[in-house]
């Protein structure tokens, strides 16, 4: 009996200190513009990370610690607490920016068939995944393919099957009735992955117009010539192929939708996260960041309850790290006016997901 009272007293003390720490964290993280403070391409400051780890060690902030049978190691407790706080902050930033309303159409999009076409379903495990190309989504599709039972392991999936929706066993949310769509949006675990918007555009340009490893000739032979004819300043230039500055002028043109309609669904590789996934209209449980995918992938698997069923494929070292030098290199020949227009179009993606405005490109 004596030990039980001591345990209850300890739990009360932990909860009391948690309330104080949470309030202090909230006050510390709030910025004057209401979006929360951000560093670089992430949503968490070094000061927050340091404070979170310190408080986790001191108070062991975890609801399970009041269970006498739960005895986590300090490292496990630290990682759980830090990741939970990071993802909580990402969701709160998204919600507050959506409510703010100052971004208008840059933050809001209707849940159209186009959006529902981007969302893949695992009914067996009650998971919805919104595809945002150029942020490692091929690997997440492999995870869902295995979960849905089309293949027994990720290694068994042929590369040409991953994106073949007649063979990969991945239904899109658009294939369901509206009642079933609503039921799944309300009750399933939902997640998406984002990346620094400008670095994502560079990846899309390189993949579709330079390297084109998946043998999709229409990007070079159908889409590129149309952009060149409309947006290349010197049409007599002998350089072959689409240049990055041509691509940026197209993307930053307020009238880009005319060509978007002409290009069809191929634009999914470079249109905004807002247009792809309607993040202000759909309440996503987890927002993964490409820059922290090594930590986010296991967290998503755990939150979805599938960590014992499948693993995210190994991530090559350094591939997810934000590379400012690469961004500066690709934008070095782009005019400041065109960069500003491009940012104006993708501002919603920057602010909704905590990415810092690339002011280094405007000087």
pLDDT(6) > 60:
no
Q: Which tokens sit at 157? A: 């999936």
Q: What is the pLDDT of residue 236?
A: 55
Distances in Å between the Cα of 125 and the Cα atoms of 190, 224, 288 are: 11, 41, 19
Give the pLDDT band (50/70/90) at residue 79: low
What is the three-class DSSP state of 332? coil
**Chain-centre distance for alpha carbon 313:** 17
- Please state, rounded to an integer, the average pLDDT across all residues of the chain: 81
Contact between 29 and 90 (Cβ < 8 Å): no
pLDDT(167) > 50:
yes
Question: Beta strands 119-122 and 127-130: pairing type?
Answer: antiparallel
Q: What is the pLDDT of residue 1?
A: 47
| Averaged pLDDT, 51-57 | 34
Distances in Å between the Cα of 230 and the Cα atoms of 205, 235, 249, 272, 349 are: 17, 9, 9, 22, 26
Nearest to 119 by CA among 175, 71, 80, 54: 175
Whole-model pTM: value is 0.77
Q: Which tokens sit at 144? A: 């869902």
Q: What is the pLDDT of residues 121-148, one digit of tens each?
A: 999 999 999 999 999 889 999 999 999 9
pLDDT(55) > 60:
no
> pLDDT above 70 covers what percent of the chain?
76
Distances in Å between the Cα of 318 and the Cα atoms of 14, 181, 293, 298, 325 are: 39, 38, 11, 17, 14
Contact between 82 and 94 (Cβ < 8 Å): no
CA dihedral 287→161→321→334, nearest 10 degrees, is -100
Distance separating alpha carbons of residues 266 and 270, to the nearest angstrom: 9
Give the pLDDT band (50/70/90) at residue 353: very high
CA dihedral 360→272→249→137, nearest 10 degrees, is 90
pLDDT(358) > 90:
yes
Q: Which tokens sit at 314? A: 């190994």
In this structure, how many other beta carbons lie within 10 angstroms of the beta carbon of residue 258? 9
| Averaged pLDDT, 151-165 | 88
Distance separating alpha carbons of residues 165 and 130, to the nearest angstrom: 15
Q: What is the pLDDT of residues 336-352, one digit of tens each?
A: 999 999 999 999 999 99
Q: Which carries the bigger pLDDT value, residue 217 or residue 43? A: 217
Distance separating alpha carbons of residues 122 and 152, to the nearest angstrom: 15
Q: Which tokens sit at 145? A: 């393919």
pLDDT(296) > 70:
yes
Q: Which carries the bigger pLDDT value, residue 103 or residue 111? A: 111
Length of the chain: 363
In this structure, how many other beta carbons lie within 10 angstroms of the beta carbon of residue 256? 18
Nearest to 296 by CA among 280, 279, 284: 284
**DSSP class of 210:** I
Q: Which carries the bigger pLDDT value, residue 24 or residue 216? A: 216
Q: Of all helices (H) and strands (E), which one includes residue 287?
A: strand 286-289
Q: What is the pLDDT of residues 245-279, one digit of tens each?
A: 999 999 999 999 999 999 999 999 999 999 999 99
pLDDT(62) > 70:
no
Distance separating alpha carbons of residues 260 and 275, to the nearest angstrom: 12
pLDDT(81) > 80:
no
Which ranges in 213-278 belong to alpha helices (H)?
217-218, 224-231, 244-252, 257-263, 273-277
Contact between 186 and 278 (Cβ < 8 Å): no
Q: What is the pLDDT of residue 168?
A: 84
pLDDT(163) > 70:
yes
Nearest to 108 by CA among 261, 282, 254: 282
**DSSP class of 172:** B
Q: What is the pLDDT of residue 76?
A: 54
């Amino acid at each position: 009996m004596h030990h039980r009272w001591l345990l209850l007293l300890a739990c009360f003390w932990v909860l009391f200190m948690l309330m104080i720490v949470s309030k202090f964290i909230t006050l510390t993280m709030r910025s004057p513009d209401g979006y929360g403070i951000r560093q670089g391409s992430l949503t968490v400051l070094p000061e927050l990370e340091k404070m979170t780890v310190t408080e986790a060690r001191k108070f062991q902030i975890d609801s399970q610690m009041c269970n006498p049978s739960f005895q986590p190691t300090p490292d496990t407790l630290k990682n759980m607490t830090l990741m939970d706080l990071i993802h909580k902050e990402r969701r709160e930033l998204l919600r507050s920016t959506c409510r703010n309303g100052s971004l208008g159409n840059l933050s809001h999009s209707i849940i159209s068939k186009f959006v529902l076409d981007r969302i893949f379903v695992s009914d067996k495990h009650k998971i919805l995944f919104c595809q945002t190309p150029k942020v490692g989504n091929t690997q997440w599709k492999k995870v869902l393919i295995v979960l849905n039972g089309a293949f027994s392991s990720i290694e068994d999936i042929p590369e040409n099957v991953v994106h073949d929706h007649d063979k990969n066993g991945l239904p899109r949310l658009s294939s369901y009735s509206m009642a079933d769509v609503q039921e799944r949006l309300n009750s399933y675990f939902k997640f998406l992955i984002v990346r620094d918007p400008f670095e994502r555009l560079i990846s899309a340009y390189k993949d579709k117009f330079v390297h084109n490893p998946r043998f999709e000739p229409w990007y070079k032979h159908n889409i590129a010539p149309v952009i060149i004819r409309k947006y290349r300043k010197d049409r007599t230039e002998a350089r072959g192929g689409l240049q990055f500055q041509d691509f940026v002028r197209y993307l930053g043109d307020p009238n880009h939708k005319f060509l978007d309609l002409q290009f069809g669904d191929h634009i999914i590789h470079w249109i905004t996260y807002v247009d792809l996934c309607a993040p202000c209209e759909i309440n996503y449980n987890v927002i993964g960041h490409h820059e922290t995918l090594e930590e986010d992938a296991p967290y998503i698997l755990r939150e979805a309850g599938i960590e014992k069923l499948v693993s995210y494929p190994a991530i090559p070292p350094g591939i997810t790290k934000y590379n400012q030098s690469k961004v500066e290199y690709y934008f070095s020949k782009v005019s400041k006016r065109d960069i500003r227009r491009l940012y104006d179009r993708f501002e919603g993606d920057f602010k909704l997901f905590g990415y810092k405005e690339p002011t280094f490109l405007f000087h």
